[in-house]
Amino acid sequence: MAEITNPQIVLFANERARTMADTVERFSALVDAWVADYAAQAIATQITNDGNGAGATIADGSETDGRQRITGTKIVNLKAALLQVQTALTTTAVSGVGATVKAIADGIQVNGSIR
C-alpha cells in the first residue's frame, strides 16, 4: 500500500491526530470511572435522602475560598450530562463514518489507553 509522506501531514498525524485520539481515550476512561464511582457510592440516593434536599448547597468549603457553590442537583445533572457524553463517545456512530468516536480514536491512539 502506498504511503503518505508529505512532511506536513506526517507531523500533523503524529503531533495532532494521535495526541487528540490519546485525549479522547483518556477522557472516555475518566467518564466511565466517574459514572462507576457515582453508582458504587450511591450518590444519587444519598443526595435524595439528605434532609436538606438536592437543591441545598454542599458544605465543601467553597463559601470561604472563592470557588462557586454547588448543589446536589448540580451533581445529579453532571451525571446525566456525562451519561450523554458516554453514549456519544461509545454508542452513537459519527454521521457519514459509521463508527463511534471511541472506535475511531482506538485506531489512532498510542498513549491514551489506561494501562
pTM: 0.89
| Over residues 64-69, mean pLDDT | 94
Q: What is the pLDDT of residues 49-66, one digit of tens each?
A: 999 999 999 999 999 999
Average pLDDT, rounded, for the chain: 95
Nearest to 104 by CA among 18, 15, 27, 34: 18
CB 41 within 8 A of CB 34: no
Q: Give Cβ neighbours of residue 81 (< 8 Å, ≥ 6 apart).
A: none
| Over residues 12-39, mean pLDDT | 97
- Nine-digit cell string for 50: 439528605
